[in-house]
A and B are shown apart, each in its own frame.
Chain A
Amino acid sequence: MTINNIWVVVEPSNGALTTTSLELLTHARSLSSNVAAITWGGDGAALAAQAGDYGATTLHDTGSLNNSLPGAPVAAAIAGLIASGGAPDAILIPTSYDGRDIAGRLSARLDRPVLTNITGLNDEGGLVSEHPIFGGTQIVKAAFTAEGPGIYVIRAKSFVAESAGGAAASVNTIAVGDTGATATATITSSHAEERTGPKLEEAAVVVSGGRGLGEAANYQLISDIAKLLNGAAGASRAIVDAGWVPYSHQVGQTGKTVKPTVYIACGISGATQHMVGMKGSKNIVAINKDPDAPIFQIADFGIVGDVHKVLPALIAALQARG
């Protein structure tokens, strides 16, 4: 099957496209010479240059959604676009809070299935998607068997974003159409959590803590080491669920995917759900008191020891180096 055209849902954030959106555009143009993007939020004209730079020829834009959550209205707009002008072979959507909403809504609207948690997508005489399972030890390869468009929800950092140097995409305003009662969820205010140092997904060094830290107050050790290494502090799902640290620090299947130069896992056993989010790190360092912890099976360098002793000593050693 020739892949004639691909649509990529590209997500606006503070007047620019998210990194994952750019990764998907980059990969889409390796699969097809005809790539269009779909966005929302009222910054379409400003985003057209970036969308074009990464390979989209057209940017379909719903314009302002008047603070509605994007899931229902953007899915309705895409369904409308298909109804009026035909379907693409594939629709690529970032794995993100809003991306997942759009994918689910669109799937039900079009009565088409959806493939999620994708980390690879290749043309093997038709599109074949890759999905890590069991903590990334095995890869499921899947394909749609029915008529398109296939809806593919793709995880962050599955591809590397590269500019193509293309001209600005031409902006095509699209209508949301009828959403009935589905688009009535409205954002009334936004709150940003304070952050010092680099973003978790972009940091070259990530230091993460898990249940082995024993109690919430010990997470300070993780923050201190992250700061000394000019890195970001991450966390396992266990201590996020326990309320020790905000969800925004969570690394794993249900949290962020990170691929830093070095990932330092402290008191993390290595549950499959965590490994999926950090297995792609260039180097992995693990500190855990249990020599049988699964994390040691993927660590380049491991210390079998008590984090309550090793981490304070590590802080002292790093401080001594200035």
Chain B
Amino acid sequence: MFPGLIYADEISPRFVSMNIVVCVKQIPDPAAPQSLEPSHNLNRTGKLILDEADTYGVEMALQLVDAAGTGEVTVVSMGSAADLSGVRNALAMGAAKATIISDDALRGTDALGTAKVLAAAIRRVNPDLVIAATESSDGYTGTTPVQVAELLGLPSITFAKSVTIDGSTVKVARQTEAGYDDVTSPLPCLVTVTAGVVEPRYASFKGIMAAKSKPVEQLTAADLGLSAETGSAGARQHIVAVVTAEAREAGDIHVDEGDGADKIVAFLDSIKVL
């Protein structure tokens, strides 16, 4: 199915060529108003965009493939295929191909179910490195990448501030409470990247045109040999209720007329901070 990959393995030592999978998510534009459907699923009927948090991973993958000399970036995503502009954006940045697993049966899948789907799709590509964001900007669950790593039997390094490849080893500066740790792992490995790890490129006009003819493979859960355990039927958690949080009331708001700083000082005085 991916003759390029097989060819590279046959003629060269495994790690001369870097083949990287980047997990991405198409999400409702966070700038638009968000709402829940009666089913408590996030309303995803509007335009979908590539999660900005994923653009860092795509950029990092492209740079690592460039540094290795050969290899390619494959984008893997689960979700609606009705709007593929987010995935096309990743292809326009320079990814070679995409796999999107889209299936009505997957609606309402929980994080572990999502991880099972992604892991099954990634396994077919057999990459040297898997990159994901630390969490999506809509669901924020933040466990899916590590669940994918465990299902694939791979080591993982989360919260990368920088990523380099040295032969068959990945070296990461990993964010910690105190600062950062230098962490190494043999490849293959999964790495999650923080925003700001690299500056994502804007897709060029040439890239946008090229993306239109790049392969986008659409799969169903059944294509991956999955069905029963995925989707809302397989989710083993449910929403009991959604309630309005206790609202904080807006307080005194003043327009600065040169006295703003003094007013703040007076307020800090009144709450005994000064």
Chain B interface residue count, CB cutoff 8 Å, equals 78
Interface pair A184/B177, CB less than 8 Å apart? no
Q: Does A82 contact B (CB under 8 A)?
A: no
A117 to chain B, nearest CB (A): 6
A71 to B189, CA, bound (A): 14
| Chain A residue contacts of B194, Cβ below 8 A | 247
With the chains together, A138 CA to B274 CA distance in Å? 34
Minimal Cβ-Cβ distance residue in B for A298: B248
**B140 interface residue, CB < 8 Å from A?**
yes
**B237 at interface (Cβ–Cβ under 8 A)?**
yes
With a cutoff of 8 Å between Cβ atoms, the chain B residues found around residue A253 in the complex are 140
Q: Which A residues lie within 8 Å of B189 (CB)?
A: 185
Cβ contact within 8 Å between B115 and A108: yes
Residues of chain B within 8 A (CB-CB) of A140 are 40, 239, 241-242
> Which residue of chain B lies nearest to A238 when distances are taken between CB atoms in the complex?
B195
Q: Which of B7-15, B81-89, B147-155, B202-210 contacts A (4 or more CB under 8 A)?
A: B147-155
- A189 contacts the other chain (CB 8 A): yes
Determine whether A96 belongs to the interface, using a CB cutoff of 8 Å to chain B: yes
Contact present for A302 and B254 (CB under 8 Å):
yes
Which of B57-65, B69-77, B216-224, B259-267 forms contacts with chain A? B259-267
Complex Cα gap A205–B267 (Å): 13
Q: Which residues of A contact B145 (CB under 8 A)?
A: 104
Closest B residue by C-beta to A240: B196
Q: Which residues of B contact A190 (CB under 8 A)?
A: 176, 178-182
B102 at the interface (CB under 8 A from A): no
Q: Provide the B243-264 mask, 1 if CB < 8 A to any CB of A, else 0.
A: 1110110111111101011111
A96, A183, A189: the one within 8 Å of B182 (CB) = A189
Shortest distance from the beta carbon of A129 to any chain B beta carbon, whole Å: 9
Task: Please determine whether A101 and B146 come into contact, CB atoms closer than 8 angstroms.
Answer: yes
Q: CA separation between A313 and B144, bound complex, in Å? A: 47
B183 interface contact, C-beta 8 A: yes
Q: Which residues of B contact A100 (CB under 8 A)?
A: 142-143, 146, 158
B240/A303 in contact, CB under 8 A: no
Contact of A204 with B by CB under 8 A: yes
Contacts of B255 in A (CB 8 A): 291, 303-305
Residues of A within 8 A of B107 (CB): none
Q: How far is the CA of A72 from the CA of B180 in the complex (A)?
A: 19
Interface size on A, residues (CB 8 A): 97
Residues of B contacting A304 in the complex (Cβ-Cβ under 8 angstroms): 253-256
Cβ–Cβ contact B177 & A248, under 8 A: yes
Complex Cα spacing A247 to B178, Å: 11
A97-B158, A191-B180 known; A182+B150 contact, CB < 8 A: yes
Contact A145-B238, Cβ < 8 Å, known A184-B186, A287-B260, A305-B260: yes
**Does A84 sit within 8 A of B, measured CB to CB?**
no
Name the contact of B252 in the complex, choosing from A75, A144, A301, A317 (C-beta under 8 A): A301
Contact, CB under 8 Å: B150 / A302 = no
A136 at interface, CB cutoff 8 A: yes
Interchain CA distance A14-B9 in the complex, whole Å:
45
Produce 1/0 per residue, B91-121, CB < 8 A to A: 0000000000000000000111001000000
- How far apart are A135's CB and chain B's nearest CB, in angstroms? 9
- Chain A residues with a Cβ under 8 A of chain B: 13, 18, 69, 71-72, 75, 96-97, 100-101, 103-105, 107-109, 111-117, 124, 128, 132-134, 136-146, 153, 180-193, 204-205, 229, 237, 240-243, 247-248, 253-254, 261-262, 264, 273, 279, 282-285, 287, 291, 296-306, 309-311, 313-314, 316-318, 321
- Interchain residue pairs A-B with the least CB separation, the first 10: A305-B256, A104-B146, A313-B261, A146-B236, A108-B150, A104-B143, A300-B251, A302-B253, A185-B185, A303-B260
Q: List 26 A-B contacts (CB under 8 A).
A: A71-B156, A72-B155, A101-B146, A103-B146, A108-B147, A113-B236, A138-B36, A144-B236, A182-B150, A187-B181, A187-B182, A193-B179, A240-B195, A240-B196, A247-B194, A253-B140, A254-B135, A262-B273, A285-B264, A287-B260, A287-B264, A299-B253, A300-B251, A303-B263, A309-B256, A317-B264
